[in-house]
Structure 1
Amino acid sequence: MSRTALLHELVALLPQPSVVLRDRGRWIVAANPDRLVIRRGPDSLDVIDELTSGWWAGWLTYEAGHDVEPVVANPARRRPWPGGDETEEADAVWARFPSRVELPDDGEPVVLGDGQSAAYHAELIAEAAGRASRDTAPWRRRSATPPDGDHDAGPLNPSNITWRSSLSEVDYGLNIRRILEYIRAGTCYQTNLTRTLWTTDDIDPAAIFHELLDHHPAQYGSLIRLDGTTIVSGSPEQLVRQFGRWVQTRPIKGTDSDPQRLMSSTKDHAENVMIVDMARNDLGRVSEYGTVRVPSLFALEPHPGLFHLVSTVVGETSPGTSRSDVIRALFPAASITGAPKPRVMQIIEDLEPWKRGVYCGSVGWIDADHDSMDLSVAIRTFVERDG
């Protein structure tokens, strides 16, 4: 029985609310939180200071970053779904789980925690293992891909889904030209313009997760179901990892299907250096002087169908620095804003008609008892809301 087969069955059995997170050579699975903390609007990042004990998982929206950089709100900008009301989406959602299961790539599943919650997770593992050992058909054939194995004919093929965009091709092109004018005028060096694709088609988010697990596994893959929202992410990018005073960020800039072309790209290397300089500056705001280093620059990392240029920036936080201080220093990620961050966040606010929401925000876990956390940049992310 493979770890992937076991994880497929665990996901099928999980109740709501629950979380599934990929984290450094292991999967973390947790259900039935005993506390849920939700914040909307200004000062949403303050919620991090309330996570004072236990193991938490959740997310921050991109707009939570407006607490960090001053942005004049665009009143015409709306939440990222058709007819989205301003009060419907929370900017910070975090759940505390008394127990969790860790599935290492090498080794047996481990239940962390005690009491009834731990017993429940142990039973969940046993049932999932039994189902995985009995069922020889891949999970994806039950959830997404037709029995004949024709993946292109499956309901998750983008060509079989009616997608709509928050920006038309014409408007997108016009906004690109405006950004180029800003660059020529010296207002900014780079602005990351995005658009949202949405659909009203009936799609099972768990089926998307199963497909990603089988065909596009990501370093920060996740399936989170909290507060009436389901998030499926295939992110490869780390926002921040912290253990005690040691802190790390790993920005990605540079993407290509051809590794040789990527390694010889002057443009991609220039972008990567720009974002690394921003990350050094951001991390330097909360680190002891002289501790910020770049141990790895332009590392070529393979991912399904793509290669990325990834750099690593580390530091040692100053005494008295809190987790929220660290997050505020780095959030939102420079790789999904551009430079300089305060100015381009205002440009994004002015040009993008829909708020980004969870997309370009952050997803991950915080262990308050062991002073550690690991958060991703929520790119390549799907969001479904109940109703």
Structure 2
Amino acid sequence: MAAIAGCSGSDGGSGGSDGSSDGGDDSSSDGSSDGGGGSSYDGQELNVLTWGGYEGVSQMVEDMGASTNLKLISSDKEGFNTLQGGGASQFDVLVLDNQWAQRNAKADTIVPLRREEYPAAQEGTIIEKFNWPYQTFGFDGEQWAIAPRWGWEGMGYNDDEVELADLESEGYAAIWDGDYKAMAADAPTSVIPLVMQQIFDLDENPMAIEVSDSRLETLEETLVEMFNSVEAVHQGAAALRQAMLEGNAEIVLGVGNFELSQLAAEGFDWAKVIAPPEAGGWFWTEGLCLVNNPDLNRDLANEFINACLSPEGQRSICWDGESKGAPANTAAFDAFSEEEQKTIMMYKDKGFEAADEILSGLDQYLISPQQEQWTEIWERAKARSDL
């Protein structure tokens, strides 16, 4: 999940790198290696266009005898443009986020999936919210992706310094009410949906609708108030994590379990995330796709996808990186210890058993039809504020 830079970026991606410049183990360079083994895939090659975090699964496929090449992307837009620009003939698998499955399907850069090729889909072990057929990955009556991992966004907080009951009562208004030291991500498409969930009585996902000019004006005034109240805004998740570590921020807006899980993994179990019950939050899902390559090695590509969905693969993509994602396949839950589950979820000291509880209060991340206006409002509010 490219959090701040991707998930919150102008292209509406979410993906599997942190998006911050903190030198994590997800590099932006190509990784390729030759596999050994003695399977039927000896001498075959798989090319994957992906976020970081899939190196372990790549090794699993190499153990079958194939060679794998990972081309890492920093945004969904980059992946889309790569395939549209003639790259489809160079790749077999694409890892993307959310609505980018539909965008790629409409652009004919990926091909439909067949449910019978994926045991996790057939057996119904994918989390119900994401299980086949999953609307976000659907287009023209077909499924174009299957989910390997997900995460959720709301408000991060220091459980040692903040009363959870206060945040549950105040919601995101706690960011601009001044009772706690607050910071925000400099990420309009991440933060604005949360602010809208707080200040408007909406019956729909704020990212799925167009709101009136008067509501956009109210949004801008609220953002000015927020910018006047916070200690700072930061483009990268690393800066927000550091601010929490140094005690300069007790609550942070526009980040979630993926961005803050590094703190929990390093033993700072006071780091938690909340989606206030009255306001809610949003969630993202990655998707595994088959590229519309005329020479697609479908069998080998599906070996990679099914390896991602296996307990071993789920553990690798969700735990091995510095930032932790949540597994989409419930059959893999037991591959994680109770403490590891809590580290990933960052929710009230609960593990994966809380997935349905969390998701029930969240909206699917979408690319807003008013995204350009949101960005303009964000920049105008910053300029008007004392920040």
- Structure having the higher strand fraction is 1
- Structure having the higher helix fraction is 2
